[in-house]
Amino acid sequence: MNKLYKANLIFIFLLIIIFTTVAGAEGEVNLYTNRHYDTDELLLQEFEEDTGIMVNVLKGGSDELIEKIAREGKDTSADLLITADAGRLHRAKTMGLLQPVKSKVLFNNIPKNLRDEENYWFGLTIRGRVVVYAKNRVNEADLSSYEDLIDEKWNGKILVRSSSNIYNQSLLASFIELYGRDWAVNWAEGIVKNMARKPQGNDRDQATAVVAGQGDIAIMNTYYLGKMLNSTNQEEVKVAKQLEIFFPKKTHINVSGIGLTRHAKNKENAVRLIEYLTSKKAQEMFAKANFEYPVNNEVKPSELLKSWGEFKTQDINLSSLGENNKEAYMIFNQVGWK
Ligand code: FE
């Protein structure tokens, strides 16, 4: 009797273990993300409701998250890594932290130039790094290319954040790729000469400084202007209304993207989440609520994005943003772009 009772207990215990393991494997996905936008939270919530798969999110800086995945090795709890820039995903790939994904849905949703050549990472949204200018002080006809920004007519007029920021690193990396190192050095040097003040603050702060009259133009990402225009903070709305976007010739674009970790435990769920985030429904949300450009060609940009106009982009492989990152970093140091 006692023996039978024990055996039963062990059996039930085993059943519980098997059940929780299976349920766990089917019921969740772990995401490390560098993105800090409300839109993402809404999308993940919808994914949970639609699929029943729980999404556990860990937020952090890209470098921090990449280091964490490397440190955790085979035991990593991360199934997916999202960063706000393709350069970082490329780094994660070269460090052996990601694995390729074969998915017709993804190949269909995302054009080739917006994903890794070997499918180790996939773009989720496109962001342009552009010129934003004071409507009342700058004549649009005076703007043309990134190169024009180093002309002396802009002396003391340019506002841009620190070179420690990945958006600037990737911008310079794209120039190294397109025009070579010397060109990039010359450009960075010219911008430093034309800066209205020492680099400080984030992209939104550059916009605010333009309106405050500290400079005439800011180098910043498009979606921040969208966010300011739609902000609950009336001051931000006021600032944004006095500004206009200009897309330089061959506008620099980057993607916020996602990769499946090499040691993902919830691979199937993870792929489902990537597919979901590149679906029409999710892509519309990114465009409408976060003012980023969709990667999925079937999705049209939102009204606001349309109002900003169309633009031609740099024609480079986005992996080069990662490949040239170190060089960009060294150039910034060399020319004293803090
Ligand atoms: Fe951002």
Residue 80 falls within a domain, yes or no?
Answer: yes
Residues 92, 205 within the same domain: no
Residues 37, 90 within the same domain: yes
Cα of 19 to ligand 1 centre, how many Å? 41
pLDDT digits (tens, 9 = 90+) for 292-333: 999 999 998 889 999 999 999 999 999 999 999 999 999 999
Q: What is the mean pLDDT of the chain?
A: 93
Cα of 2 to ligand 1 centre, how many Å? 64
Residue 233: phi, psi to the nearest 5? -85, 110
Looking at the predicted structure, is the pLDDT value of residue 151 above 90?
yes
Give the domain CATH number at 210.
3.40.190.10
Residue 178 falls within a domain, yes or no?
Answer: yes
* Other CB atoms within 10 Å distance of the CB of residue 156: 13
Cα of 212 to ligand 1 centre, how many Å? 22
Tell me which long-range contacts 287-291 makes (C-beta under 8 A, separation of at least 24). Answer: 289/38, 289/39, 289/42, 290/37, 290/39, 290/40, 290/125, 290/223, 290/226, 290/227, 291/222, 291/223, 291/225, 291/226, 291/227, 291/230
Residue 79 falls within a domain, yes or no?
Answer: yes
**Count of domains for the chain:** 2
pTM here is: 0.87
Cα of 160 to ligand 1 centre, how many Å? 14
pLDDT digits (tens, 9 = 90+) for 237-254: 999 999 999 999 999 999
Looking at the predicted structure, is the pLDDT value of residue 62 above 50?
yes
Residue 142 falls within a domain, yes or no?
Answer: yes
Cα of 167 to ligand 1 centre, how many Å? 8
pLDDT digits (tens, 9 = 90+) for 196-239: 999 999 999 999 999 999 999 999 999 999 999 999 999 999 99
pLDDT digits (tens, 9 = 90+) for 11-39: 555 544 444 444 444 599 999 999 988 89
Residues 133, 100 within the same domain: no
Cα of 12 to ligand 1 centre, how many Å? 50
Residues 69, 200 within the same domain: no
Cα of 239 to ligand 1 centre, how many Å? 18
| CB-based contacts of 181, cutoff 8 Å, min separation 6 | 327, 331
Residues 24, 97 within the same domain: yes
Residue 90 falls within a domain, yes or no?
Answer: yes
pLDDT digits (tens, 9 = 90+) for 77-108: 999 999 999 999 999 999 999 999 999 999 99
Residues 163, 80 within the same domain: no
Residues 135, 218 within the same domain: yes
Cα of 85 to ligand 1 centre, how many Å? 9
Identify the band that residue 3 occupies on the pLDDT scale cut at 50, 70 and 90: low
Cα of 93 to ligand 1 centre, how many Å? 22
User: Mean pLDDT, to the nearest integer, of 265-270?
Assistant: 98
Residue 306 falls within a domain, yes or no?
Answer: no
Cα of 169 to ligand 1 centre, how many Å? 13
Residue 305 falls within a domain, yes or no?
Answer: no
Residue 307 falls within a domain, yes or no?
Answer: no
Residues 102, 152 within the same domain: no
Cα of 84 to ligand 1 centre, how many Å? 7
Residues 225, 271 within the same domain: no
Query: What is residue 14's predicted lDDT score, i.e. its pLDDT?
Result: 52
Cα of 268 to ligand 1 centre, how many Å? 29
Q: What is the largest CA-CA distance in the chain?
A: 95
Cα of 33 to ligand 1 centre, how many Å? 12
Residues 194, 278 within the same domain: no
Cα of 120 to ligand 1 centre, how many Å? 22
Cα of 34 to ligand 1 centre, how many Å? 9
The parent domain of residue 120 ranges over 3-126+255-299
Cα of 1 to ligand 1 centre, how many Å? 66
Residues 143, 246 within the same domain: yes
Of 140, 105, 133, the C-alpha closest to 119 is 105
